[in-house]
């Protein structure tokens, strides 16, 4: 049954996926007022679409589809999350919507040639709230300006228009808003979405060349507008508050998920819709697992707890990591490693400026980590540093917490993380006092004209500042005495 459904999805990938999800009432209805785009104006969305259209080759069409609601169990769907590129170009947070762009225009009927077509469900109250509709798409998202050759249709019209569009063009840019692959263990069949869609398109439209739409947007998404910086700062502020409140109530005997609850409470309390990735709250041995997110362990005195967290608003995600002592004060070896990681981060941050590759500042962090580990006798050869810091130092953030990368050098408006860490497993070839220590410190950095601004600056970062913060036992900690 699943195979058959998947076959239909790939053959008629746009039309059928839209039609299938239409029957579901899982609309998040986040597009019903200007506030719902988080301050990004209709003009900004229009400009983004125009910039992408200008990059397309002549005779081409680009088709961007909204995400499908994903089935979680039975009748319950996962919380809806819009496809990044679709959200970036449209601002629409609903499923069942499609955007088509073409630099040479699309003949819609005998009198109309359009550069962009937007298909959306009609405005009506669904089970989960009001929809944007064609009127909202025009007013809030900037579609429908006749002089800009923009047309808005009901989603039902897609079936009629899209085949003509694909027959009349030389190439199509697309990236499916579908899971990368589906695997069925009984038959052993693996359906790779892009491959199957390419095959289906080649059969139906043999003259159409298929291209990936990602590269049309990557460089554009890498440089954030002032509205995007504002949204990321909003997500960061909620994340910093979540961290600080969690640190204030942390104490031995608590479960990791109790800190998670405080953190995510503040995300919501401060207006962020969700988290950008599952919160990582790893104590004791879990501090050494970089993406541990089960958060189900009891925390003990003398241990460290890594909190790697990020609120998300309007699709934009923060990414902050702090490592705190469960009891409120670091042991001497914990402090030695903490200060080494902090120095590595500070040295790397000093390097940030426009015109250099994004990974360049991180190289400085490796040097400082290597020097420090040699000095502490934890490694004998500089190369061994990778054993204790197995991940990269930086990634861009934005609509994805690991946002699209760009081949461009750093430029004002780019935002990326600086996150050195050290993880020293038990039985490592070093003094036992360092065994079991896992420390990561992560901040979000905005590239400016001459250097950088740390957007997460308000989160206490030094060992002393964290101990001072934890000494301000918050209400939650007071009530929670064990």
Q: Which stretch binds Mn ion (CB under 5 A): 26-34, 117-125, 316-324, 329-337?
A: 316-324
Residues 401/317, Cβ–Cβ less than 8 Å: yes
Distance (Å) of CA 377 to CA 333, 365, 429: 12, 18, 9
38, 417, 452, 455: residue in contact with Mn ion (rule CB under 5 A): 417
Which is closer to ligand GLY, CB of 315 or CB of 328?
315
Residue 111 makes CB contacts below 8 A (sequence gap 6+) with none
Question: For residue 104, which of 151, 164, 54 has the smallest C-alpha distance?
Answer: 54
β-pair partners for 101: 62, 116
List residues with catalytic annotation.
75, 291, 308, 319, 391, 395, 402, 419, 423, 440, 442
Select the residue whose beta carbon is closest to Mn ion and give its number. Answer: 319
Residue 392 CB, shortest distance to Mn ion, in Å, is 9
β-pair partners for 322: 307
The 8-class DSSP code of residue 428 comes to: -
Residues 397/317, Cβ–Cβ less than 8 Å: yes
Residues 146/112, Cβ–Cβ less than 8 Å: no
Cα–Cα distance, 373 to 244 (Å, whole number)? 29
Residue 310 CB, shortest distance to Mn ion, in Å, is 8
Dihedral sign (CA 192, 5, 84, 312): negative
Residues 399/316, Cβ–Cβ less than 8 Å: yes
Cα–Cα distance, 91 to 96 (Å, whole number)? 14
Residue 177 CB, shortest distance to ligand GLY, in Å, is 23
Which is closer to ligand GLY, CB of 161 or CB of 232?
232
Distance (Å) of CA 312 to CA 92, 277, 319, 442: 16, 8, 9, 17
Residue 59 makes CB contacts below 8 A (sequence gap 6+) with 104, 169, 170, 171
Beta strands in 188-315 (DSSP E): 189-192, 209-212, 274-275, 280-283, 304-309, 311-313
Residue 463 CB, shortest distance to ligand GLY, in Å, is 21
Please report, as residue ranges, which positions from 395 to 434 form the binding site for ligand GLY (by CB under 6 A). Answer: 401
319, 336, 443, 444: residue in contact with Mn ion (rule CB under 5 A): 319
Percentages helix, strand, coil for the chain (3-state, rounded to 5) are: 40, 20, 40
**Count of residues of this chain found to bind Mn ion when the rule CB under 5 A is applied:** 2
x/- string (CB under 6 A) for ligand GLY, residues 291-320?
Answer: -----------------x----------x-
Does residue number 151 form part of the binding site for ligand GLY (CB under 6 A)?
Answer: no
Give φ, ψ of 316 to 5 degrees: -95, 130
Residue 162 CB, shortest distance to Mn ion, in Å, is 38
Cα–Cα distance, 253 to 299 (Å, whole number)? 5
Residue 245 contact, options ligand GLY, Mn ion, none, Cβ 5-8 Å cut-off depending on partner type: none
Which is closer to Mn ion, CB of 232 or CB of 379?
232
Which is closer to ligand GLY, CB of 259 or CB of 401?
401
Q: Which stretch binds Mn ion (CB under 5 A): 256-264, 382-390, 416-424, 466-474?
A: 416-424
Cα–Cα distance, 305 to 388 (Å, whole number)? 17
Residue 319 CB, shortest distance to ligand GLY, in Å, is 5
**Count of residues of this chain found to bind ligand GLY when the rule CB under 6 A is applied:** 4
Which is closer to ligand GLY, CB of 245 or CB of 308?
308
Does residue number 277 form part of the binding site for ligand GLY (CB under 6 A)?
Answer: yes
Which is closer to Mn ion, CB of 293 or CB of 371?
293
The 8-class DSSP code of residue 141 comes to: T
Residue 277 contact, options Mn ion, ligand GLY, none, Cβ 5-8 Å cut-off depending on partner type: ligand GLY
β-pair partners for 190: 183
Binding footprint of Mn ion on the chain (CB under 5 A): 319, 417
The site for ligand GLY (CB under 6 A) is made up of: 277, 308, 319, 401
């Amino acid at each position: 049954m699943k195979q058959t459904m998947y076959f239909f999805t790939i053959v008629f990938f746009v039309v059928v996926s839209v039609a299938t999800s239409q029957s579901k009432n899982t609309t998040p209805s986040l597009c019903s007022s200007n506030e719902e785009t988080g301050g990004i104006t209709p003009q900004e969305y229009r400009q983004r679409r125009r910039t992408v259209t200008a990059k397309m080759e002549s005779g081409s069409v680009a088709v961007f589809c909204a995400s499908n609601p994903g089935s979680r169990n039975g009748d319950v769907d996962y919380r809806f999350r819009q496809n990044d590129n679709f959200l970036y170009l449209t601002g629409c947070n609903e499923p069942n919507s499609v955007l088509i762009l073409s630099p040479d225009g699309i003949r819609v009927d005998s009198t109309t040639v359009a550069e962009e077509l937007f298909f959306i469900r009609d405005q009506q109250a669904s089970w989960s709230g009001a929809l944007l509709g064609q009127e909202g798409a025009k007013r809030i998202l900037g579609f429908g300006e006749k002089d800009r050759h923009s047309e808005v249709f009901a989603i039902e019209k897609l079936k009629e228009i899209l085949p003509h569009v694909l027959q009349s063009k030389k190439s199509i840019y697309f990236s499916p808003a579908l899971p990368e692959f589906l695997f069925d263990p009984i038959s052993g069949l693996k359906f790779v979405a892009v491959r199957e869609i390419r095959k289906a398109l080649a059969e139906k439209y043999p003259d159409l060349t298929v291209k990936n739409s990602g590269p049309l947007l990557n460089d554009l998404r890498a440089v954030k507008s002032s509205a995007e910086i504002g949204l990321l700062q909003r997500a960061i502020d909620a994340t910093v508050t979540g961290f600080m409140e969690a640190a204030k109530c942390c104490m031995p005997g608590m479960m990791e998920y109790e800190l998670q609850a405080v953190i995510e409470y503040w995300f919501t309390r401060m207006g962020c819709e969700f988290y950008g990735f599952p919160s990582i709250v790893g104590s004791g041995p879990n501090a050494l697992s970089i993406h541990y997110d089960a958060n189900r362990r009891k925390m003990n005195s003398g241990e460290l707890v890594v909190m790697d967290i990020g609120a998300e608003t309007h699709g934009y995600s923060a990414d902050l990591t702090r490592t705190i002592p469960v009891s409120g004060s670091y042991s001497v070896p914990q402090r030695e490693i903490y200060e080494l990681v902090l120095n590595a981060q500070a040295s790397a941050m000093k390097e940030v400026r426009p015109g250099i590759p994004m990974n360049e500042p991180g190289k400085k962090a490796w040097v400082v980590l290597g020097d420090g580990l040699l000095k502490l006798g934890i490694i004998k050869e500089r190369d061994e540093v990778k054993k204790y810091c197995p991940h990269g130092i930086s990634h861009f953030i934005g609509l994805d917490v690991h946002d699209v990368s760009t081949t461009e050098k750093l430029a004002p408006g780019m935002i990326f993380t600086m996150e050195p860490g050290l993880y020293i497993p038990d039985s490592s070839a070093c003094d036992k006092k360092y065994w079991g220590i896992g420390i990561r410190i992560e901040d979000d950095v905005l590239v400016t004209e001459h250097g950088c601004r740390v957007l997460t600056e308000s989160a206490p970062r030094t060992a002393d500042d964290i101990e001072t913060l934890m000494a301000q036992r918050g209400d939650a900690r007071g009530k929670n005495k064990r």
